Amino acid sequence: MKHFAFIAALVAPTFLLANPSPSDWEAVTSEASGQTVYWNAWGGSTTTNDFLAWVGGRVLEDYGVVLEHVKLTDTAAAVTRVLSEKQAGEDDDGAIDMIWINGSNFAAMKDADLLFGPFAEQMPNWALVDADGKTVQTDFTVPVEGFESPWAMAQVVFVHNTATMPDSIGSMDALLEWAQANPGRFSYPQPPDFLGTTFLKQALVDILDDPSELQAAATDENYGPVTAPLWVYLDALTPHLWRAGRAYPATGTAMFPLIADGELDLSISFSPGAASTAIANFELPDTVRTFVLEKGTIGNASFVAIPYNSGSTAGAMVVANFLMSPEAQARAQDPNILGYGTVLNMDALTDNDRSKFDALELGIATLSPAELGSVQAEPHPSWMTRIADDWANRYGTGQ
C-alpha cells in the first residue's frame, strides 16, 4: 500500500461539497429522510455495538434515516477503501458514508482531500459542544476545521486510595512533593506503554509555562530546551517511586492490582470511569476515588467523519448531529451503557437536558463532567517518540 504521504499528490481537492449545506438544517433533514448511512466503526465491543444500534433506532424514528453499522477491526481499512474508490474515479455513492475516526487516520484522509465538509460546526448541536474546554477542534494536533464531528471524550485522571491518601493533588509539582514524603507509593507503567508515555506527556504539559509549544512538531532545535524541565522533574521523582524506580508496572492494567494489594496509593488512568468499574467488579476497594489537576489533564476525542464520495451526506450529518445531542451524550456517559466522557458544555444545556447528566449514577469514583474541568491538548506525536526513547535511555529498567 502506498504511504499516505504521497496520496495528496495523487488526488484532486474535493473540499466544500456540502449539498445541502449543513447550515440549512431543514434541507438536510428533508434530504436525509429515506437515506441509508453505512457507518464504518469499530465492532469489537458488544456494548458499543448495542449503543450504535440504539442510535440507529433513534435516527430512523426521528428522521427516517436507516443506519447500518459496518463493523471494523482496523479503521485504516476504511481509509484505504475510500482512497481506492477515488483512484478508480468512483466519486459518487461510495461504499462508506461515515467513519468513526481520529488521530493518524483522520490526518491521512484530510491530507488526501478524502473528506466531505466542512460540516461539523454548522450543525445545530455544535452550539452545545464545549469547544473551548475540550480538545474537539484539533485531533492529535491536526486542526479539525469542521471535517469531523466529536462524540466522545477520554481524559487522564489520577486514581488514589483515600484510606491511605485522603487528599487530591493539584499539580505535578505537588505530586513530586507528596511522593518525596511518601516514597514507594506511586508509579506509572513503563514506557513505551501507552499509559506510561501519557504520564510523561501529562507531566510535561503541567510543568511547562506554555504547553502550546508542544502543539508544533519537535525539532532538533526546540526539543532539548522544551523537555529539559521534564528530566529535572523525573530525576527528582524517580528515586521515590515504587521499587525506587528500579522496576515499573508493565501496563496500565497492572496498576489497579497494586492499589488493591496495598502497594500503591496513587496511579493514573485514561478512563474517568475505570476506577468505578473496578470497584464494582471488586478489583479495587471502595475507598478509591479520582481527581484531575488544577490546570486540567490531557484528553482526546473520538470523532466521526464523512468521506467525500458518500451518497448519503445528509443522512450522515443527521447521525453526526444526533451523536452530539444531550440525549445521545447522556446515554453514552451512562456507565451501564458505555461510560464515555461527554463532549458537551454543561453550561450550554437547558436545565432539563443537564438533569439527564445529573441523574446518572456514574459510580462512586467517577467525576462529573463539570468536575473533570478543562482538557489539555495532546502534544504533537513527534514529541513522544523522542521522549520515550530518551526515557528508556535514562530510566529504563535494563540500564
Which residues make Cβ contacts (< 8 Å) with residue 233, sequence separation at least 6?
Answer: 172, 176, 203, 207
Dihedral sign, Cα of residue 219, residue 224, residue 229, residue 230: positive
Indicate if 155-298+377-395 has the same CATH topology as 4-150+302-362: yes
Residue type, 367: L
Percent of the chain whose predicted confidence (pLDDT) is above 90: 72
Show Cβ contacts of residue 352 under 8 Å, excluding neighbours closer than 6 positions: none
Q: Which residues touch 91 (CB under 8 Å, ≥6 apart)?
A: 14, 85, 308, 309
Burial class (CB in 10 A: 0-12, 13-18, 19+), 235: exposed
Q: How confident is the model at residue 341 (pLDDT cuts 50, 70, 90)?
A: confident
The class level of CATH for 155-298+377-395 reads alpha beta
Residue bearing cell 484505504: 80
Query: pTM for the full model?
Result: 0.74
Residue 46's pLDDT is 86
Task: Using alpha carbons, select from 316, 304, 314, 308 the residue that is nearest to residue 12.
Answer: 308
8 A C-beta contact, residue 201 and residue 381: no
| Separation CA 39–CA 1 (nearest Å) | 23
List, for residues 221-247, the tens digit of each pLDDT value.
999 999 999 999 999 999 999 999 999
Peptide bond into 239 cis (omega under 30): no
Distance CA 105, CA 35 (A): 26
Q: Which fold has domain 4-150+302-362?
A: D-Maltodextrin-Binding Protein; domain 2 (3.40.190)
The alpha carbons of the chain give a radius of gyration, in whole angstroms, of 22
How much is the average pLDDT of 257-285?
A: 92
State the cell numbers at 96.
Answer: 462508506
What does the domain layout of the chain look like in residue ranges? 4-150+302-362, 155-298+377-395
